[in-house]
Amino acid sequence: MDYMYSGDLAIIDLESGEVDFREFTELDDYGPGFSSCLAVFKEYEESDPVVIGSGLFTGTTVPASCLGFVLAKDSDSDRVFTVPLNLYAGVEVKFSGFSAVAIIGNASSPVYVWLHDGVADVLDASNFASSDTWNTTDLIRSEMGDRLVQVISCGPFDNSHQFPKSASINYWGSLDPGHVAASFFRKNLKAVAIRGLGMIDAADPDAFFSSSLEFLKRCKPENGFALWNEQAAKIDEWVMPLVHRYRSCYGCPMACFPFLKYREQPSVLSSEGVEEPGILLTAYHALKLLKEKGFNPKEAMGVLEACLKMGLEAIALSSVIEPDAIKASENIVETVKTIQKENRIAIAPSAMFANWYSGEENSAFWETLNRAAYTLGICPIFLIKSGIDISEFYRLSGLACQTDFDQESVDASINRLI
């Protein structure tokens, strides 16, 4: 594909430490985004691959074109599982100088992968293997000298694998129920850091630009988890007193994620200088459990912050933690660590795509929607809420890459592989 992607497919073998590059021919064979990366995943299936990719429009002027993804093995079934790279991580994947990246094999000691401008480095992570995700992000960003470096990481390497872990995107939660983090642990892979200053080109840039802006004009800006569903709307109301601002992912007029300040006055815009004033909520499901258990919003934030730092799967933790444990605790992180050690929980059964919309894991609607979303690189919530028919987004593909895709052709490609 001559447009919308730049660079080769990188195959990073953690066992040998070697990096190979080859032309990403799967783009032409299977189409952009999810399907071509799924083909790579299948090719390296025996080597427990983690495949990182982006959609056709990721990082462009198309509204909500924030979406990249990580494909990893479902720990139970060995099938592929897909975790979204939202916020700004997907965009950095697109501009990393690679069309896609496959990380195979297991390292003998903790490493992290640094993807930048078409260069893939496997670097030693021994000195921060036991760091939490926040420190890991800070360390890598400081080392690379840029705060825009996107860090997908997992929590401390502590040899306890009885509790689901979850990969983080920088400081915040991904929608990984545990499969990506489990892959990282198997591989001795502490983190993948990505920064790209590359460029992509559309086949007809002017028409692509103006058409994508037309989409934007048709969208109504909205805030909060209420965009997701009614249950989530109730969480919005519950945490409202702590909301400092709403944040969207790259290029999206819909700001789903509330930033909650519980160590500073949320109503004051400027910071009072507290180092860690609150957290960005990127999912509501754990919060719903905590609310039902009788946590107050501040206590719930404390639990979620501990989960984020420790790289623990928040729904799993929320299912076993009780308010009394927090009330009696002087150090929530230590309390959460103890609870994690004392409980054995399996990763929740998963369909192919992480679900954060309806809660119905095997919903056919969600799967079809996600096939489109991960092909186009557009957030599935936006695809639902924008009021623009998905076929209209598909019609942009001709302007983008001189090839017309539609749901039928995308489904056909994916069905060839699963």
Q: Quick check: 121 binds another protein (CB under 8 A)? A: yes
Task: Pick the binder of another protein from 148, 216, 226, 384 (CB under 8 A).
Answer: 148
Structure tokens at 235: 């969480």
Nearer to another protein, 145 or 387 (CB): 145
CB of 205 to another protein, least distance (A): 9
Task: Pick the binder of another protein from 109, 145, 273, 324 (CB under 8 A).
Answer: 145
Nearer to another protein, 76 or 121 (CB): 121
State the Cα–Cα distance between residues 166 and 63, nearest whole angstrom: 28
Q: Site for another protein (CB under 8 A): how many residues? A: 19
State the Cα–Cα distance between residues 248 and 377, nearest whole angstrom: 15
Structure tokens at 81: 């599982």
CB of 5 to another protein, least distance (A): 9
CB of 143 to another protein, least distance (A): 8
Task: Pick the binder of another protein from 116, 165, 309, 385 (CB under 8 A).
Answer: 116
Scan residues 183-222 and list those touching another protein (CB under 8 A).
195, 197, 199-201
Task: With contacts defined by CB under 8 A, name the span among 42-50, 118-126, 241-249, 370-378 that binds another protein.
Answer: 118-126
State the Cα–Cα distance between residues 234 and 226, nearest whole angstrom: 8
Task: With contacts defined by CB under 8 A, name the span among 2-10, 81-89, 241-249, 290-298 that binds another protein.
Answer: 2-10
Can you state the angle between helices 364-376 and 34-43, rounded to 10 degrees? 90
Q: Quick check: 23 binds another protein (CB under 8 A)? A: no
CB of 39 to another protein, least distance (A): 23
> Could you tell me which residues come within 8 angstroms of residue 321 by beta carbon, excluding any fewer than 6 positions away?
290, 293, 303, 336, 339
Nearer to another protein, 103 or 149 (CB): 149
Number of Cβ within 10 Å of residue 104's Cβ equals: 20
Task: Pick the binder of another protein from 147, 218, 344, 416 (CB under 8 A).
Answer: 147
State the Cα–Cα distance between residues 295 and 171, nearest whole angstrom: 23
Question: Comparing C-alpha atoms, which of 350, 329, 372 is closest to residue 74?
Answer: 350
Q: Quick check: 144 binds another protein (CB under 8 A)? A: yes
Per-residue DSSP letters for 38-100?
HHHHHHTGGG--EEEEE-SSTTSSSTT---EEEEEE-TTT--EEEEEE-TTHHHHHHTTT-SE
Task: Pick the binder of another protein from 42, 43, 44, 118 (CB under 8 A).
Answer: 118
- Three-class DSSP category at 6: coil
Amino acid present at 395: R
Nearer to another protein, 3 or 128 (CB): 3
What is the contact surface with another protein in residues (CB under 8 A)?
A: 2-3, 6, 116-119, 121, 144-149, 195, 197, 199-201
